[in-house]
Amino acid sequence: MRYIWAPFAKRPNPIWMLQSTITLHDKQFTPYLPAQQVMAAVQELAGRLNQDYAGKQPLFVAVLNGSFMFASDLLKEMLIPCEIAFIRVASYEGISSTGRVREILGLQEDVAGRDLIIVEDIVDTGHTMRALLELLGAQKPASLAVATLFLKPECLQHELDIRYVGLTIPNDFIVGYGLDYDGLGRNYPDVYKAV
């Protein structure tokens, strides 16, 4: 028996086409960044990481829930031996940061002496990232770096050394590609911003 591969792109599915406006809960969102631009940023970051970590075996620590798409696509582009682990933290309610970080699910892996790369979807106030850097740094890794897909420099309230940034954006509230508004919007491959 022979199987014939049929590309998904030929099947019409309106959710995967860039829509002019989407509604999530009580908010309207308009197109911001197409999936192709997001993927280009991911591939560029992966290229830098492949070069900088050549000869090493880093452990990527993906921050759930928002970074799941970014982490998946980033690791598909890695050409070096690497591992992935997950940590879940929360500091958002609705569309604004609470400023309080709660660790919900911690690492099971021993990270002492390892080269760690925190994979985050977005860094805005920096509260979450500062807490993660302190938490993981206390476990004595060989090195500790941050790779974020999005950075909002005008929102930062902490001095952070973020070596790997995919896209620098203004202070817009965005959804899509893993980012959500109260649980909705993560599934869109394109990125939308609140109107």
Give me the active site residues, please.
Answer: 124
3-state secondary structure the chain: CCCCCCCHHHCCCHHHCCCCCEEECCEEEEEEECHHHHHHHHHHHHHHHHHHCCCCCCEEEEEECCCHHHHHHHHHCCCCCCEEEEEEEEEEECCEEEEEEEEEECCCCCCCCCEEEEEEEEECCCHHHHHHHHHHHCCCCCEEEEEEEEECHHHCCCCCCCCEEEEECCCCCEEECCECECCECCCCCCEEEEC
Q: Residue for token digits 């086409």? A: 17
Contacts with 99 (C-beta within 8 Å, 6 or more apart), sequence order: 91, 125, 127
191 exposed, middle or buried (CB, 10 Å; 0-12, 13-18, 19+)?
buried
